[in-house]
């Protein structure tokens, strides 16, 4: 693992020097310095996402700087703490930027996703405690910045989701790894529907590890920096967080249905089972799923079933291929159409193509084929 990291950062430094200039009309390193802040206190490394007006959405320069700083800190500091300024931890990646030039110039998006997944893996294999204070909106890429760390602290302000099927993508940033490992069919349900989890539900679902009210977050942060022993963080942090065992999961009454239906092997079977169930919950869920990209739904089901039996590294390598083919749009243009409809023109009327009945298993399998050698994720 250490040898692979050394080789990666040998090549990574080249990407930082030259890759950023390829991606923007202006060198964006200085912008990245303002958008993500780094500080060391008492041998703790503190990362602050600093784009509050954009809900701390991450872009390529930010990913590069975070990766570089994590590598620099790993041998020197005792703990990493990551947080966001404003009402969001991180609302995801800046996907408008990476889709702006269309499929013919997909290299820009591929570069972003590849380095984002490298960052996700680095967090997931970090040799020091990595603490994410997810006090606010945490979606998509924000999940990748937090869920792979050892400690994820939620508050009543936390709002988590993986909403990718609504824009023609799939739950990435390691989603094919961590979602299938949630209880029963919950991960598949969250992946397909983009269902939002708020507050204590984030911990009940298994995404957050600890819960703390937002009014006590300043005290908790001070304890992390000045009092808590990083070597015994799992035990000591309990003194500053709350016991929510008596709080009921908001989806508790639907768990039996979710486990029975969202463990089925295909999206077509899930659709049929939801319709046959005939309850308000199942029919509402079915209606929601029918608004999502059909290609994304089939791709997500396949990806999560594969990921259930893979390591984090294998899942991220698979996702890199999936994302690359999504960007190339050889099967479907849904990603570009979804971003247009929901984030650019905001008409919220995406025209998905192909339709579910026109998507064969063979078409979906093409998303898992290797990319060009230099586009593959080697970890």
**DSSP label at 163?**
-
Q: Are strands 197-198 and 159-161 parallel, antiparallel or unpaired?
A: antiparallel
User: What span, in angstroms and rounded, lies between the C-alpha atoms of 261 and 258?
Assistant: 5
335 phi/psi in degrees, rounded to 5: -65, -45
Distance from the first to the final alpha carbon of the chain: 8
Q: What is the DSSP letter of 152?
A: E
CA pair distance 186, 177, nearest whole angstrom: 13
Angular region, 242: left φ>0, alpha ψ -120 to 50, beta rest: beta
Would residue 249 be called left, alpha or beta, if left means φ above 0 and alpha means ψ between -120 and 50 degrees?
beta
Distance CA 153, CA 172 (A): 21
DSSP per position, 4-57: HHHHHHHHHHHIIIIIHHHHSSS--HHHHHHHEEEEEETTEEEEEE--GGGTT-
249: buried, middle or exposed (CB in 10 Å: 19+, 13-18, 0-12)? middle
H/E stretch holding 63 reads helix 60-73
Cis peptide before 354 (omega within 30 of 0): yes
What is the rounded CA–CA span in Å between residue 208 and residue 195?
16
Number of helices (H), then strands (E), belonging to the chain: the values are 19, 10
Active site residues: 93, 141, 164, 172
Non-local (6+) Cβ contacts of 239 within 8 A are 223
Q: Which two tokens stand for residue 354?
A: 């192909």
Q: Which of 159, 251, 158, 161 is nearest to 213 (CA)?
A: 158
């Amino acid at each position: 693992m250490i040898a692979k990291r050394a080789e990666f950062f040998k090549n990574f430094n080249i990407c930082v020097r030259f890759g950023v200039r390829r991606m923007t009309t202006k060198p964006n390193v200085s912008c990245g310095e303002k958008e993500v802040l780094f500080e060391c206190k008492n041998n703790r490394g503190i990362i602050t996402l600093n784009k509050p007006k954009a809900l701390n959405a991450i872009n390529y320069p930010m990913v590069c700087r975070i990766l570089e700083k994590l590598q620099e800190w790993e041998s020197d500091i005792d703990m990493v703490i990551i947080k966001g300024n404003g009402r969001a931890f991180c609302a995801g990646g800046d996907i408008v930027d990476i889709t702006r030039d269309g499929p013919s110039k997909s290299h820009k998006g591929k570069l972003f996703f590849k380095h984002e997944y490298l960052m996700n893996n680095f967090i997931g294999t970090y040799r020091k405690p990595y603490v994410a204070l997810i006090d606010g909106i945490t979606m998509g890429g924000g999940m990748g910045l937090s869920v792979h760390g050892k400690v994820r602290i939620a508050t009543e302000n936390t709002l988590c989701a993986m909403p990718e099927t609504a824009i023609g993508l799939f739950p990435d940033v390691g989603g094919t790894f961590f979602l299938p490992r949630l209880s029963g069919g919950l991960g598949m349900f969250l992946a397909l529907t983009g269902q939002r989890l708020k507050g204590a539900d984030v911990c009940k679902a298994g995404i957050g590890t600890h819960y703390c009210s937002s009014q006590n977050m300043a005290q908790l942060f001070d304890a992390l920096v000045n009092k808590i022993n990083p070597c015994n963080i799992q035990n000591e942090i309990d003194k500053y967080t709350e016991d929510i065992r008596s709080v009921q999961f908001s989806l508790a009454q639907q768990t039996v249905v979710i486990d029975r239906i969202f463990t089925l092997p295909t999206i077509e079977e899930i659709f049929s089972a939801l319709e046959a169930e005939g309850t308000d919950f199942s029919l509402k869920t079915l209606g929601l799923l029918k608004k999502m990209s059909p290609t994304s739904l089939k791709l997500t089901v396949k990806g999560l079933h594969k990921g259930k039996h893979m390591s984090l590294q294998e899942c991220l390598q698979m996702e890199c291929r999936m994302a690359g083919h999504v960007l190339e749009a050889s099967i479907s243009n849904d990603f570009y159409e979804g971003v247009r409809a929901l984030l650019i023109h905001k008409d919220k009327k995406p025209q998905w193509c192909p339709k579910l009945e026109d998507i064969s298993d063979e078409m979906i399998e093409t998303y898992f084929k290797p990319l060009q050698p230099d586009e593959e994720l080697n970890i």
